[in-house]
Amino acid sequence: MNDRDLGHRAEAVFDALLTGRGGDLHPADRQEATAFWGWLGDFERPAEAPAVRRVWPARVAALAAVVFATIGVVTWFTHPAAERDFAQHYATSHAERRLIRLADGSTVTLAANSRVEISYTPTERRLRLSGGEALFKVAHNAARPFIVETPHGEVKAVGTAFDVAVAAREAEVTVVEGVIRIALRDSAHNTRASEPIEKLARKGERVAFGMTTRDGGSVGFIRQASDLDADSATAWTRGQLVFRGEPLRDVIAKINLYARDRVVLTDPKAGSMPVFGIIDQGDTAAIRDLIANPHAIAIEPLEAPTATLSKTAEH
């Protein structure tokens, strides 16, 4: 980062701090800028000072930014982005759901066994969902896009709501409100610089994206999945599980995220059996009513907490 970029970034931080938008800043930015502002206030003021015209916050921010960058009180702004990203981490355990309220008014609801990392800057709101599932309700701000990274690609929105589920080979996004853009890179073996693969998805659409193997290399894909209504897509946030033809082996994995007992597939041939229906999270016995061959599964005792919803406010 050159001196000009450093000055612009520092000015943006101080402008936010002086105009009541400090809550939108990255925590490290806010802490360092506040400390520096306090340091300036320690200087002794003259006993009498001539009347001066009003100085607009933007000019104060610019002046502070110049001093800030010049004397080198803080070096955080000069660090590469990778060193300061994702300073806040949230995770859920078995049978737990967690509601996270972000500084800009957006919310994240984490499903069981999920993990999200958060990095807010003056130009974007970036989150990383490294595993599990989450429902994102995004506060509108066209100047600061909301981006969710996954191991398989990323989802970009401005003001909308969408659900993202991360699996080993792909991720799946369901649009609850608004429009999102899905992007990933094609990293096929022995090819020149890759071009981004992108797709728009609208309310009610469900899209899968990730990587597959072709001709000895990894190739990115985005494919349309079956559409899903908003109530079904977000049922897990209300303590329900909705199945619309998923194979039994996947249904069992989903149930076991919240189950007080463990469901085990005893007949491997039944693993591909489609399952339809709705059950409450933790009601493992109800799965027997949804499958043609109840003897294809067994339910084993498991010491686990009852499904809970915790709330977290980000500061």
Taking residues 205-214, what's their average pLDDT? 88
Q: Which residue has the higher pLDDT, 158 or 109?
A: 109
With a pLDDT cut of 90, the percent of the chain lying above it is: 50
- The C-alpha atoms of residue 196 and residue 204 are separated, in whole angstroms, by 24
CB 233 within 8 A of CB 176: yes
Instruction: Give the type of residue at 151.
Output: P
Domain covering 85-230 in this structure, CATH number: 2.60.120.1440
CA gap 67, 59 in Å, rounded: 12
Q: Which of 25-29, 72-76, 93-97 shows the lowest per-residue confidence on average (mean pLDDT)?
A: 72-76
- Structure confidence at residue 216 (pLDDT): 75
Confidence tier at 304 by pLDDT (50, 70, 90): very low
SS3 176: strand
Residues 6+ apart with CB under 8 A from 288: 294, 297
pTM, whole model, 2 decimals?
0.68
Domain ranges of the chain: 3-44+55-82, 85-230, 239-306
The tens digit of pLDDT for each residue in 267-292 reads: 999 999 999 999 999 898 899 999 98
